[in-house]
Structure 1
Amino acid sequence: MKLPELDSTTINRIIEMAWEDRTPFEAIEIQFGLSEKDVINLMRREMKESSFRMWRERVTKRKTKHLRKRDFVAGRFKSDNQKT
Protein backbone atom coordinates (compact mmCIF):
# COMPACT_ATOMS: atom_id res chain seq x y z
CA MET A 1 0.00 0.00 0.00
CA LYS A 2 1.48 3.30 -1.07
CA LEU A 3 1.05 6.30 1.20
CA PRO A 4 0.36 9.72 -0.31
CA GLU A 5 3.15 12.27 -0.43
CA LEU A 6 3.09 14.18 2.85
CA ASP A 7 5.29 17.01 4.04
CA SER A 8 7.22 16.65 7.30
CA THR A 9 4.86 18.97 9.21
CA THR A 10 1.87 16.82 8.25
CA ILE A 11 3.69 13.60 9.10
CA ASN A 12 4.65 15.02 12.50
CA ARG A 13 1.05 16.02 13.21
CA ILE A 14 -0.26 12.57 12.22
CA ILE A 15 2.30 10.90 14.50
CA GLU A 16 1.33 13.24 17.32
CA MET A 17 -2.36 12.45 16.84
CA ALA A 18 -1.64 8.71 16.64
CA TRP A 19 0.14 8.83 20.02
CA GLU A 20 -2.69 10.78 21.70
CA ASP A 21 -4.95 8.42 23.64
CA ARG A 22 -8.19 10.21 22.93
CA THR A 23 -7.68 10.94 19.24
CA PRO A 24 -9.44 8.18 17.30
CA PHE A 25 -8.17 6.85 13.99
CA GLU A 26 -11.39 8.12 12.43
CA ALA A 27 -10.36 11.72 13.25
CA ILE A 28 -7.04 11.19 11.47
CA GLU A 29 -8.89 9.75 8.48
CA ILE A 30 -11.27 12.70 8.30
CA GLN A 31 -8.49 15.27 8.58
CA PHE A 32 -5.78 13.62 6.47
CA GLY A 33 -7.53 10.90 4.45
CA LEU A 34 -5.44 8.09 5.96
CA SER A 35 -7.14 4.90 7.11
CA GLU A 36 -6.03 3.08 10.26
CA LYS A 37 -3.89 0.75 8.12
CA ASP A 38 -2.28 3.77 6.44
CA VAL A 39 -1.48 5.30 9.84
CA ILE A 40 0.05 2.02 11.00
CA ASN A 41 2.20 1.88 7.86
CA LEU A 42 3.24 5.52 8.31
CA MET A 43 4.18 4.90 11.94
CA ARG A 44 6.15 1.79 10.97
CA ARG A 45 8.01 3.77 8.29
CA GLU A 46 8.75 6.87 10.38
CA MET A 47 9.57 5.41 13.79
CA LYS A 48 12.34 3.25 15.19
CA GLU A 49 11.27 -0.39 15.42
CA SER A 50 11.22 -0.37 19.24
CA SER A 51 9.12 2.81 19.32
CA PHE A 52 6.72 1.37 16.78
CA ARG A 53 6.26 -1.82 18.85
CA MET A 54 5.65 0.27 21.98
CA TRP A 55 3.06 2.38 20.14
CA ARG A 56 1.27 -0.68 18.69
CA GLU A 57 1.05 -2.30 22.12
CA ARG A 58 -0.30 0.92 23.59
CA VAL A 59 -2.87 1.47 20.83
CA THR A 60 -4.24 -2.06 20.87
CA LYS A 61 -5.13 -1.67 24.56
CA ARG A 62 -6.99 1.63 24.08
CA LYS A 63 -10.71 1.69 23.44
CA THR A 64 -10.45 5.42 22.86
CA LYS A 65 -8.54 5.01 19.57
CA HIS A 66 -11.64 3.57 17.86
CA LEU A 67 -14.95 5.41 17.92
CA ARG A 68 -17.01 2.21 17.70
CA LYS A 69 -15.30 0.82 20.83
CA ARG A 70 -15.78 3.92 22.97
CA ASP A 71 -18.22 3.66 25.82
CA PHE A 72 -18.62 7.43 26.17
CA VAL A 73 -19.95 10.17 23.94
CA ALA A 74 -18.02 13.26 24.98
CA GLY A 75 -14.34 13.45 24.12
CA ARG A 76 -12.96 14.69 27.40
CA PHE A 77 -13.74 16.52 30.61
CA LYS A 78 -13.40 20.28 30.53
CA SER A 79 -13.26 22.26 33.74
CA ASP A 80 -15.37 25.40 34.08
CA ASN A 81 -12.16 27.20 35.05
CA GLN A 82 -10.41 26.21 31.83
CA LYS A 83 -10.07 28.88 29.18
CA THR A 84 -11.57 28.19 25.76
Structure 2
Amino acid sequence: MNISNLDSETIDRIIEMAWEDRTPFEAIALQFGLTEKQVIALMRREMKESSFQMWRERVSGRKTKHLKKRDFIQGRFRSQNQKGS
Protein backbone atom coordinates (compact mmCIF):
# COMPACT_ATOMS: atom_id res chain seq x y z
CA MET A 1 0.00 0.00 0.00
CA ASN A 2 1.18 3.50 -0.77
CA ILE A 3 1.26 5.72 2.33
CA SER A 4 0.34 8.81 0.31
CA ASN A 5 -3.05 7.27 -0.54
CA LEU A 6 -4.18 6.72 3.07
CA ASP A 7 -7.16 8.62 4.48
CA SER A 8 -6.90 10.43 7.83
CA GLU A 9 -8.88 7.76 9.73
CA THR A 10 -6.53 5.02 8.53
CA ILE A 11 -3.47 7.12 9.36
CA ASP A 12 -4.82 7.71 12.87
CA ARG A 13 -5.36 3.97 13.38
CA ILE A 14 -1.87 3.10 12.14
CA ILE A 15 -0.32 5.69 14.47
CA GLU A 16 -2.38 4.32 17.36
CA MET A 17 -1.22 0.77 16.62
CA ALA A 18 2.40 1.88 16.22
CA TRP A 19 2.33 3.58 19.65
CA GLU A 20 0.89 0.48 21.34
CA ASP A 21 3.69 -1.50 22.96
CA ARG A 22 2.16 -4.91 22.34
CA THR A 23 1.11 -4.40 18.72
CA PRO A 24 3.81 -5.79 16.43
CA PHE A 25 4.72 -4.26 13.08
CA GLU A 26 3.56 -7.54 11.51
CA ALA A 27 -0.02 -6.80 12.69
CA ILE A 28 0.13 -3.42 10.97
CA ALA A 29 1.47 -5.11 7.83
CA LEU A 30 -1.33 -7.69 7.93
CA GLN A 31 -4.08 -5.13 8.39
CA PHE A 32 -2.81 -2.25 6.24
CA GLY A 33 -0.12 -3.76 4.00
CA LEU A 34 2.63 -1.43 5.26
CA THR A 35 6.16 -2.57 5.98
CA GLU A 36 8.02 -1.48 9.10
CA LYS A 37 9.97 1.05 7.00
CA GLN A 38 6.72 2.49 5.65
CA VAL A 39 5.28 2.78 9.17
CA ILE A 40 8.43 4.61 10.28
CA ALA A 41 8.17 6.96 7.28
CA LEU A 42 4.49 7.59 8.05
CA MET A 43 5.24 8.32 11.71
CA ARG A 44 8.06 10.68 10.71
CA ARG A 45 5.75 12.50 8.28
CA GLU A 46 2.74 12.78 10.59
CA MET A 47 4.37 13.58 13.93
CA LYS A 48 6.33 16.46 15.36
CA GLU A 49 10.06 15.74 15.30
CA SER A 50 10.28 15.48 19.11
CA SER A 51 7.33 13.07 19.26
CA PHE A 52 8.81 10.97 16.48
CA GLN A 53 12.17 10.77 18.29
CA MET A 54 10.43 9.73 21.51
CA TRP A 55 8.52 7.01 19.65
CA ARG A 56 11.67 5.72 17.93
CA GLU A 57 13.46 5.46 21.27
CA ARG A 58 10.53 3.47 22.70
CA VAL A 59 10.24 1.14 19.71
CA SER A 60 13.93 0.49 19.02
CA GLY A 61 14.90 -2.89 20.40
CA ARG A 62 11.48 -3.55 21.94
CA LYS A 63 10.71 -7.27 21.70
CA THR A 64 6.95 -6.79 21.61
CA LYS A 65 7.07 -4.79 18.36
CA HIS A 66 8.47 -7.77 16.39
CA LEU A 67 6.79 -11.18 16.39
CA LYS A 68 10.08 -13.05 15.87
CA LYS A 69 11.57 -11.48 19.02
CA ARG A 70 8.55 -12.16 21.25
CA ASP A 71 8.59 -14.71 24.03
CA PHE A 72 4.83 -15.25 23.75
CA ILE A 73 2.29 -15.70 20.97
CA GLN A 74 -0.76 -17.52 22.40
CA GLY A 75 -3.19 -15.83 24.74
CA ARG A 76 -2.44 -12.28 23.72
CA PHE A 77 -5.22 -9.71 23.43
CA ARG A 78 -6.49 -8.96 19.93
CA SER A 79 -8.64 -5.92 19.30
CA GLN A 80 -11.86 -6.41 17.35
CA ASN A 81 -10.48 -3.77 14.93
CA GLN A 82 -7.51 -6.00 14.14
CA LYS A 83 -7.62 -8.38 11.18
CA GLY A 84 -6.12 -11.84 11.01
CA SER A 85 -6.43 -15.02 13.00
TM-score by length of 1: 0.84
Question: CA shift at 1:75, angstroms?
Answer: 5.1
Contact 1:22 1:75 in 2 (8 A): no
Q: Unaligned regions of 5+ residues in structure 1, if any?
A: 78-84
Question: CA shift at 1:61, angstroms?
Answer: 3.5
Q: Which amino acid aligns with 2:68?
A: R
What are the Cα deviations for residues 3-42 of structure 1, in whole angstroms up to 9, with x where unaligned?
3400000000000000000000000000000000000000
Question: CA shift at 1:72, angstroms?
Answer: 1.2
Q: Which residue number in structure 2 is paired with residue 6 of structure 1?
A: 6
- Percent identity reads 78
Larger radius of gyration: 1
TM-score by length of 2: 0.83
Distance 1:64 1:75, change over 3 A: farther
Provide the aligned length of Structure 1 versus Structure 2.
76
Task: Tell me the distance in 2 between the aligned counterparts of 1:39 and 1:75.
Answer: 26
Task: Tell me the distance in 1 between the aligned counterparts of 2:37 and 2:75.
Answer: 23
Q: Which residue number in structure 2 is paired with residue 43 of structure 1?
A: 43
Q: Which residue number in structure 2 is paired with residue 70 of structure 1?
A: 70
Distance 1:28 1:40, change over 3 A: same
CA RMSD of aligned residues (A): 1.5
